[in-house]
């Protein structure tokens, strides 16, 4: 995948220090929001883990019995696993379990973009990548993939969803469709070279994905007394935790989703810059990212087994005490949803200037920025005061 840099102005999202504010008079209601948020995190990540376990089982079956049918089953299982994980994306950007500087696993689970040639052969080099570097990497396992991930640089991605995606679809060299790796790349005597090592890599990457998601789930587990959740939901951390929730929503929506993940590809009109560039699954991801944002705001998530998790929320608090702010946020969500519903093509086609959906992507970017801006007044209304305070609106 080609890498293009996007410099996001500090004025897009700015978090700075704020003055001391009086003690809040509604601490119990605010703490209840943090508790439900933690419940949402636990259940969303648990679903992501469950689907990753399913993906690992399907991959194991394919490796044992390679066939086109079993290969397609792996691709479907990968797409199924993306759905619950996409809902978790706003649990980021505040040094939480997913992206803490020393222990966070986001870079191992969902790092993007990646250099395909770091993993396997590409159109310009049939012997590229870890899979074909037998002398340097004699044994491929999850420990190896974890140890070399993003080394020597950020695009040297060896693990996670997108490494597995590349192994299943291969390079996307089709301007109108996804990658077309043949399943025989994994069959002894089949296509490409080092087929057994490719099987080893696929199995190891799937196992590492399971392991990494398990570590995140554990940090949101209410049955544990010494994990991240225990501190996050404590009464003394309520204001800090509310501020973190808002930071995750704001930074993810504007800088990450609207910025890095949509604007870059849109401005370059290049399918190599889309998030799921091998499978062309990006548009579905975007819809689930938006669903996850709404789930956090409204405090509600429907698990993959149909169980509904719900409770105290930012929406309920604002509707009760600041209905105008709540109504504005709801209107922004609705506008974004309407645009998403109107896009009929895959993302790689929608970012082509001649496509009818092309102007809708620009509208989507602007609406997501506005959606983030609608949250800007919440930090003062909820009397949050710490280093995460203050969303600055874009011009």
pLDDT digit string (tens) for 185-230? 999 999 999 999 999 999 999 999 999 999 999 999 999 999 999 9
> Cβ contacts of residue 327 below 8 Å, gap of 6+?
none
In whole angstroms, give the CA distance from residue 285 to residue 251: 18
Which residue, 213, 120, 106, is CA-closest to 163? 120
Q: How confident is the model at residue 375 (pLDDT cuts 50, 70, 90)?
A: confident
Q: Does the pLDDT of residue 101 top 60, yes or no?
A: yes
**Rounded to whole angstroms, how far apart are CA atoms 393 and 386?**
18
8 pLDDT more than 70: no
pLDDT of 184: 98
pLDDT at 37: 98
pLDDT digits (tens, 9 = 90+) for 60-80: 999 999 999 999 999 999 999
Cis previous bond, 183, omega within 30: no
Q: What are phi and psi of 125, to 5 degrees?
A: -155, 105
Sign of CA dihedral 371, 377, 383, 388: positive
In which band, very low, low, confident or very high, does the pLDDT at 1 lie, cut at 50, 70 and 90?
low
Q: What does the pLDDT look like over 310-339, one tens digit per residue? A: 999 999 999 999 999 999 999 999 999 999
What pLDDT score was predicted for residue 378?
86
pTM of the model: 0.92
Largest separation between any pair of C-alpha atoms in the chain: 72
The domain covering 27-381 belongs, at the CATH homologous superfamily level, to: M75 peptidase, HXXE motif (1.20.1420.20)
Q: What is the pLDDT of residues 11-39, one digit of tens each?
A: 344 344 433 434 445 889 999 999 999 99
pLDDT for position 86: 98
Q: What six digits make up the tokens of 117?
A: 């040639």
- Would you place residue 252 in the very low, low, confident or very high pLDDT band (cuts 50, 70, 90)? very high
* Statement: residue 279 has pLDDT above 60: yes
Mean pLDDT taken over the chain: 91
Q: What is the pLDDT of residue 385?
A: 56
pLDDT of residue 394: 38
Average pLDDT over every residue of 158-184: 96
pLDDT at 25: 58
The domain ranges of the chain are 27-381
Question: For the residues 377-386, what does the mean pLDDT come to?
Answer: 75
Q: Distances from the Cα of 70 to the Cαs of 127, 166, 201, 265, in angstroms?
A: 26, 17, 17, 32
What pLDDT score does 22 carry?
A: 41
């Amino acid at each position: 995948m080609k890498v293009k840099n996007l410099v996001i102005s500090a004025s897009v999202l700015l978090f700075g220090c704020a003055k001391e504010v009086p003690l809040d008079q509604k601490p119990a209601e605010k703490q209840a929001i943090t508790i439900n948020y933690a419940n949402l995190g636990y259940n969303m990540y648990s679903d992501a883990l469950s689907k990753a376990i399913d993906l690992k089982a399907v991959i194991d079956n394919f490796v044992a019995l390679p066939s086109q049918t079993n290969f397609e089953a792996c691709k479907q299982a990968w797409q199924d696993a993306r759905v619950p994980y996409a809902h978790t994306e706003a649990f980021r950007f505040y040094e939480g379990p997913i992206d803490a500087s020393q222990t966070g696993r986001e870079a191992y689970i969902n790092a993007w973009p990646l250099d395909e040639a770091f993993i396997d052969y590409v159109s310009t080099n049939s012997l590229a990548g870890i899979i074909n570097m037998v002398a340097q990497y004699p044994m491929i396992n999850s420990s190896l993939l974890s140890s070399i991930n993003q080394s020597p640089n950020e695009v040297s991605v060896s693990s996670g969803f997108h490494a597995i995606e590349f192994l299943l679809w291969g390079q996307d060299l089709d301007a109108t469709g996804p990658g077309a790796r043949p399943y025989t790349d994994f069959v002894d005597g089949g296509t490409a070279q080092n087929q057994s090592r490719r099987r080893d890599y696929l199995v190891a990457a799937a196992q590492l994905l399971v392991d990494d998601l398990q570590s995140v789930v554990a940090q949101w587990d209410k049955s544990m007394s010494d994990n991240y959740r225990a501190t996050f939901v404590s009464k003394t951390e309520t204001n800090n935790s509310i501020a973190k929730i808002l930071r995750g929503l704001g930074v993810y929506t504007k800088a990450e989703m609207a910025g890095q993940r949509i604007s870059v590809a849109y401005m370059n009109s290049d399918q190599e810059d889309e998030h799921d560039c091998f499978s062309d699954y990006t548009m579905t991801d975007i819809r689930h990212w938006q669903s996850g944002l709404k789930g956090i705001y409204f405090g509600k998530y429907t698990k993959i087994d149909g169980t509904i998790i719900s409770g105290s929320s930012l929406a309920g608090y604002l509707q009760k005490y600041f209905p105008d702010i709540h109504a504005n946020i709801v209107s922004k969500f609705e506008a974004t949803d309407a645009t998403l519903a109107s896009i009929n093509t895959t993302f790689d086609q929608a970012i082509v200037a001649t496509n009818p959906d092309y102007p809708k992507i620009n509208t989507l970017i602007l609406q997501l920025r506005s959606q983030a801006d609608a949250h800007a007044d919440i930090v003062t209304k909820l009397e949050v005061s710490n280093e995460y305070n203050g969303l600055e609106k874009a011009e």
